[in-house]
Chains A and B, each alone.
Chain A
């Protein structure tokens, strides 16, 4: 099991989602991707996309206006 962190702080839509999609492609099933974001819209569309794609997702509010989206690749 591998874990990778993706720094998307300061990036506006759609950059976080596009980077997340790309990063997940290179991971194996069971690997974990942690996406760091501070864009309120990405905090909604990244988890939404990841869930619809069938992955396990958790959101952590790490600070005011800053989140970590933890995605476990499921397929």
Chain B
């Protein structure tokens, strides 16, 4: 999809903008590349230890580190993708998240369709959750929480790794909130969730229809996000 040909971070031409104050650049400390290499080695060692315990734990460990690396490197933030259109008018992360939805859908579709055709249980079925009032309440609470604390679950973990004390605190209370939620889960189950329905899109549209509807929806949202940002930018210019 359309991506600007310019590098992700263009530092501009230093010194082009006249500034009266002196640049705050302090004498650069020694680079932390050596510590990075040590951490890399530790990640590998921990992975080997996990593999010695249970092979699947090593898989989870390594994919976790890769997810963390990708999220940090690309500054990928699900919170920003849902917050920025309203707050700042920017939609570049929204478009990137939609792109991720599209690519992931293609891969998931292939895996699920292959399993369904072979008469096997569909992988990922446990993530097809019932829909009812709890979806709305959970979504709104989660949406408020992620914006004020500056990161959702994955983003908060990533920022803990980056050295944010604030996010370390919010992880602690994420755990507390999860416990309260888990404690109330029985009530929600009995009164709300049980009346909801889990719907896999293939049930409504068929397997090929589901793929078409999904990718079509994503494409329309992507165009809407693109036009929205341009309209906002245009409005700001006048």
Contacts and interface: CB of A to CB of B under 8 A. Distances in A.
A–B contact at 8 Å CB threshold (below): yes
Categorize the interface residue count of chain A: 35 or more
A13 to B, nearest CB: 6
A11 B194 CA distance: 42
Contacts of B16: 56, 58
Nearest to A12: B150
Interface in A42-71: 43-45, 47-49, 51-54, 56-65, 68, 70
The A interface, classified by DSSP as helix, strand, loop or mixed, is mixed
B56 interface: no
Nearest to A68: B24
A64 to B, nearest CB: 6
Interface string B136-162: 000000000001001100000001001
Contacts of A45: 75, 80, 84, 88, 90, 93
Contacts of B151: 12-13
Contacts of B77: 13, 41
Given A12-B166, A47-B9, A58-B12, A40 B17 contact: no
Interface of B: 8-21, 23-26, 28-29, 32, 72, 75, 77, 79-80, 83-84, 87-88, 90, 92-93, 147, 150-151, 159, 162-164, 166-167, 229, 233, 236-237
14 contacts: A1-B18, A12-B167, A32-B19, A40-B162, A41-B80, A44-B75, A49-B90, A52-B233, A54-B237, A58-B17, A60-B25, A62-B24, A62-B25, A68-B24
